[in-house]
């Protein structure tokens, strides 16, 4: 784990690291924000893992969301992984919605993707193990994300309730087995058997789970992807049928951009703090 950049923010440290991932079989980068109390060697912080969307890297959220101020105030570390494996040897596609920048937080089973595209295992196992071994953080975790990353946060959180105290998402892809982005990516990464896709679909998972994790979703009503790609109504319908206490907030006038995220990121951090910081 190699530190490749560091800058001061709200008296804390915004850092970027590089490491060789055994899960993804390539070099990966991720960003971290540590509050100022990290100077105290005995202080350790709970972590919010943030998963970014299509075409993003680990730097979009750290540079655009303005999350560091509230994270510093609350005493929460932020860990922001990249969205896919990277490198010349890693399979790619000409489209922005497949390949590098579009890992969809799953474990690919099909060629040429399966050698490197194991983002699910990377986020759930390898990255937290590395972070918790090398940085002043605890194993108390929450997970959040935007768009494709919102899909990843919901799926990973729902499938691993023992690992995450709370889940949130901005404009998530809620029903990927029934939208163009998901159908393209899942068909390529997972193959033609649609039943295997269901383990990476938040709407299907929520309808089947017996756990009741706190989930907050923020959705802009002026989001250009709302009806065709995101389908929050499908998730809400599944939650109602399962009597799951899902909280979805629809915000008039907001779109899919980081302006939307920056507006409501404080609410999401406070939401997670209620669970991460419990005695």
pLDDT by residue (tens digit) across 128-181?
A: 999 999 999 999 999 999 999 999 999 999 999 999 999 999 999 999 999 999
C-alpha closest to that of 204 among 182, 226, 181, 187: 182
In the predicted structure, residue 195 carries a pLDDT above the cut 90: yes
**pLDDT tier at 192, thresholds 50, 70, 90:** very high
168 is catalytic: no
In the predicted structure, residue 74 carries a pLDDT above the cut 90: yes
In the predicted structure, residue 16 carries a pLDDT above the cut 70: yes
For the CA atoms of 82, 17, 110, 238, what is the dihedral angle to 10 degrees?
-40
Structure letter (DSSP) for residue 228: I
Q: What is the mean pLDDT of the chain?
A: 97
Instruction: Report, at the CATH architecture level, how domain 2-277 is classified.
Output: 3-Layer(aba) Sandwich (3.40)
pTM over 0.85: yes
User: Alpha-carbon distance 254 to 129, whole Å?
Assistant: 36
Q: Hey, where are the domains in the chain?
A: 2-277
List pLDDT tens digits, range 102-127: 999 999 999 999 999 999 999 999 99
What are the CA-CA distances from residue 149 to residues 51, 56, 88, 102, 146 (Å)?
4, 10, 23, 10, 5
Q: What is the pLDDT of residue 116?
A: 98
Backbone CA torsion sign across 251, 256, 262, 268: positive
Q: What is the pLDDT of residue 41?
A: 66
SS3 180: helix
Q: Which of 116, 146, 151, 256 is catalytic?
A: 256
List pLDDT tens digits, range 199-227: 999 999 999 999 999 999 999 999 999 99
Q: Which of 147, 165, 166, 168 is catalytic?
A: 147
Instruction: Tell me the CA end-to-end span of the chain in Å, nearest whole number.
Output: 31
In degrees rounded to 5, what are phi and psi of residue 135? -120, 160
147 is catalytic: yes
Q: What is the pLDDT of residue 39?
A: 64
144 is catalytic: no
Average pLDDT for 236-254: 97
Question: Do 137 and 276 touch, CB atoms closer than 8 A?
Answer: no
């Amino acid at each position: 784990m190699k530190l490749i950049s560091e800058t001061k923010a709200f008296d804390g440290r915004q850092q970027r690291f590089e490491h060789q991932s055994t899960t993804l079989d390539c070099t990966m980068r991720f960003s971290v924000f540590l509050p100022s109390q990290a100077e105290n060697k005995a202080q350790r912080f709970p972590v919010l893992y943030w998963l970014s969307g299509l075409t993003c890297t680990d730097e979009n959220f750290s540079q655009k969301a303005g999350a560091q101020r509230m994270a510093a105030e609350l005493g929460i570390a932020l860990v922001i992984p990249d969205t896919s494996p990277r490198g010349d040897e890693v399979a790619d596609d000409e489209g922005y919605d497949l390949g590098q920048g579009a890992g969809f937080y799953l474990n690919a089973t099909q060629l040429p993707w399966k050698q490197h595209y194991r983002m699910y295992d990377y986020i759930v196992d390898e990255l937290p193990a590395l972070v918790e071994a090398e940085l002043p953080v605890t194993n108390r975790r929450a997970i959040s994300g935007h768009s494709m990353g919102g899909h990843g946060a919901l799926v990973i959180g729902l499938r691993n309730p023992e690992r995450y105290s709370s889940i949130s998402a901005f404009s998530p892809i809620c029903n990927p087995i029934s939208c163009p982005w998901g159908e393209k990516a899942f068909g390529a990464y997972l193959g033609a058997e649609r039943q295997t896709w269901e383990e990476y679909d938040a709407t299907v998972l929520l309808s089947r789970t017996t756990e009741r994790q706190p989930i907050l979703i923020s959705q802009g009503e002026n989001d250009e992807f709302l009806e065709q790609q995101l389908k929050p109504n499908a998730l809400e319908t599944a939650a109602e049928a399962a009597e799951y206490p899902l909280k979805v907030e629809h915000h008039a006038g907001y779109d899919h951009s980081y302006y939307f995220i920056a507006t409501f990121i404080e609410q999401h951090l406070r939401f997670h703090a209620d669970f991460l910081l419990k005695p």
